[in-house]
Chain A
Amino acid sequence: MELFVQQLINGLTIGAFYALVALGYTMVYGVLKLINFAHGDLFMWGAYLGWVALTFAIASLFENSVFVVVPAFIFVMFTVGLLGIVIERVAYRPLRNAGRLAPVISALGVAFILESIARNVFGASYKVYPPELLPSGGVGIVGDVRINYVQLALLLASVLLMAAIYAFVQFTRAGTAMRAVSLDHDTSRLMGINVDRIISIVFLIGPALGGIAGMMVGMYYGSFDFTLGWVFGLKAFIAAIMGGIGNIPGAMLGGFLLGIIETLGAGYVSPQWKDVIAYVILIVILIVRPTGLLGERVAEKL
């Protein structure tokens, strides 16, 4: 039983990361009906920028205080968010009326560009987050089950962020406008919504979340290189689909679910089979509910 709870905690932590990245995919899909394949690489850039921020901040401003992480977080959020806006402006907006295929190809191109730039700027070897920064040790919960401080902090931060996004989308005007835009662009315009501005906001928030997740992953695992975005992004994308693409609570649910299934599969069966297990379950879910767990049947435009 204790083993189960421990694996559950491990699964929730990694699930939180998947969820944050999945949110980015789902939000962009919601307003643009586009799978932003570059999102995984924005996540990777978050990890790099966080590393840059922490390495410099420690050197110049603060001493080994844990609180140096907060300005670093904010820096990463804004920078990656800005990057997201720029990418949308340059690579996606001009193709908005060019059919469904062109933006996808453009997204793939952006993904490769981001990876190559990261590799050339930062080098091909692993980068390591300064370990002095993170408190080690943890707290015991029940018997042998432990959750360490870093896990706890990151889980809390992730949940807070997700709650904030959910509140934003449900209860603010901009959030409502976002939901309107994801239903229909033209009608939204008739209602007085500046569709382009809303889309830019989405590209600020989505990539910002992805970037933060990247920095968290860098802090949690300690080391990463420029290939971080590929596999992680793919899995988060799958999590978003599992929860219902375009659906925000769905992305969170999908992320956590994928993290837990993967971890339990690795812990109880074998790490060699965990991917098989996770994706067989995914396929079964999609067969039973093709729109994803929380997805709704959205009327197709004719």
Chain B
Amino acid sequence: MFSGKRQTSTSFHIMSMVVLVVMLASLFGTAAFAEEPSGEPIKIGLQAPLTGDYAYEGKGFEQSIQLLVDQTNAAGGLLGRPVELVIDDDKGDPKEASLVADRLTTAGVVAVIGGYNSTATEPASEIYDEAGLLHITPSSTATRLTTKGFQRFFRTCFLDDRQALFAVDFMKDVLGVKKIGILHDNSTYAKGLADWTKTYLEEAGIEPAFFDAINPDDQDFTPTLTKIKGAGLEAIYFTGYHAQGGLLLKQSADVGLDVQWLMGNASNNPELITIAGLDKAKGTIVTTEPLPSDLPYPEAKAFIEAFSTAYGNPPASVWWVMAADAYNVIKNAIETTGSTDSETLATYLHNEFKDYPGITGSIIGFDEKGDRLGTIHKAYVIDDQGNFVVYGESTS
């Protein structure tokens, strides 16, 4: 191109004209298709971490929602149109999430489900709000996300301040411990949960004996664990994610740290046990929404069975079923309003949507901030076989 000789041969010009005409023709071709309403798919976007630390959860989101999309299409589609899932990988990283949000908003989706972690959901939610898109997160529980006045942002999960309250009540009443430590990883979700736990502890008259954060990029937490050992704690609540949670449990035994470990609802999956090793993980308590296998609702049983048939194993994480419920909410909104306009759907969800029989229980409704009403948390303990079994129960 820069060689100094100019390509002015006529064959070159003819080639480029042909290419141009073909491109324009295909453009008009698809425009012609767009006139036909019954064939045009309804696109729903999924923003999830398919790679990275949270790939375990992200893959589960994809599987859950794709299953429901296939079911919808097999039953005649949505408003008679096929549903198409547009998936994009945000790697659990806020910078990638912004790029994903940009791409999804220009991909013509009518709603977005995602992300998994609050750190990735937060920047994306700003972009979706500006684009006027309906946005539902199944798992980002940081309280801050619904304080921005976004009218089209909802969650099918419950908030962290309730989880913190549950954890505090559990530790002081059920476990009866007084010297409590809190460990987070500076992410939006973990820090939020940690701060709420600290607040509720102090309200209950207990000063946390240890409050610090790890760096999730690290692998070696022995310095921190050695420090915790020196603090003589009875219990410590780690509010970060399962990859680091597993490493903490493993290294905790290596350092000779004898303490009751509790973890938050980002550690409620079997990969935690794989990373830590069963004999290091057993006895750990996890505060979380009920696990899929403990959901007593017929919708849950049906979904678990369909999932097992399709993928060979039942859904292992409660977030996967939360994602499924996010899809169900969108589907219900589109079917009831007969529209795919985000504004209409959001108004419906705020004002008229109530008591929907979801997989995670009756979705009572959403409040004016977009948060799901009601909440149920349980404490699970990891038993000798590596199963999560219920320890205590609370509704608040």
Contacts and interface: CB of A to CB of B under 8 A. Distances in A.
Interface stretch (A28-36, A179-187, A264-272, A287-295): A264-272
A274 B215 contact: yes
B254 A128 contact: no
Interface stretch (A68-76, A96-104, A153-161, A220-228): A220-228
B215 A272 contact: yes
B220 A128 contact: no
**Chain A interface secondary structure, helix, strand, loop or mixed?**
helix
A86 interface: no
B51 A266 contact: no
Contacts of B226: 3, 6-7, 10, 267
Interface residues on A, range: 35 or more
Nearest to B50: A124
A267 B227 contact: yes
B116 to A, nearest CB: 13
B247 A222 contact: yes
Interface stretch (B148-156, B167-175, B270-278, B314-322): B270-278
Given A223-B247, A274-B215, A124 B223 contact: no
Nearest to A227: B52
Contact of B213 (A228, A231, A267, A272): A272
Interface in A254-294: 262-264, 266-267, 270-272, 274-275
Nearest to A267: B223
A125 B215 contact: no
A46 to B, nearest CB: 15
A274 B218 CA distance: 11
Contact of A221 (B59, B220, B230): B220
A62 interface: no
B250 A222 contact: yes
Residue of A125, A138, A225, A231 with most partner-chain B CB within 10 A = A125
Interface residues of B, number: 37
B256 interface: yes
Contact of B223 (A131, A138, A224, A263): A263
Contact of A131 (B55, B59, B186, B277): B277
A146 interface: yes
B363 interface: no
B267 to A, nearest CB: 14
A194 interface: no
B390 interface: no
A239 to B, nearest CB: 15
Contact of A272 (B212, B227, B230): B212
21 contacts: A7-B226, A10-B226, A11-B223, A119-B51, A124-B50, A124-B55, A128-B274, A136-B253, A138-B256, A144-B256, A146-B256, A222-B250, A223-B243, A223-B246, A223-B274, A232-B219, A263-B223, A267-B223, A267-B226, A271-B218, A272-B186
What 6 pairs across the A-B complex have the smallest Cβ distances? A266-B223, A267-B223, A124-B51, A124-B55, A10-B222, A131-B277
Interface of A: 3, 6-7, 10-11, 14, 119, 124-126, 128, 131, 136, 138, 144, 146, 148, 150-151, 217, 221-225, 227-228, 231-232, 262-264, 266-267, 270-272, 274-275
Given A136-B253, A232-B219, A266-B223, 20 more contacts: A3-B226, A7-B223, A7-B226, A10-B222, A125-B56, A126-B274, A128-B274, A138-B256, A221-B219, A221-B251, A222-B276, A223-B246, A223-B247, A266-B227, A267-B226, A267-B227, A271-B218, A272-B186, A272-B214, A272-B215
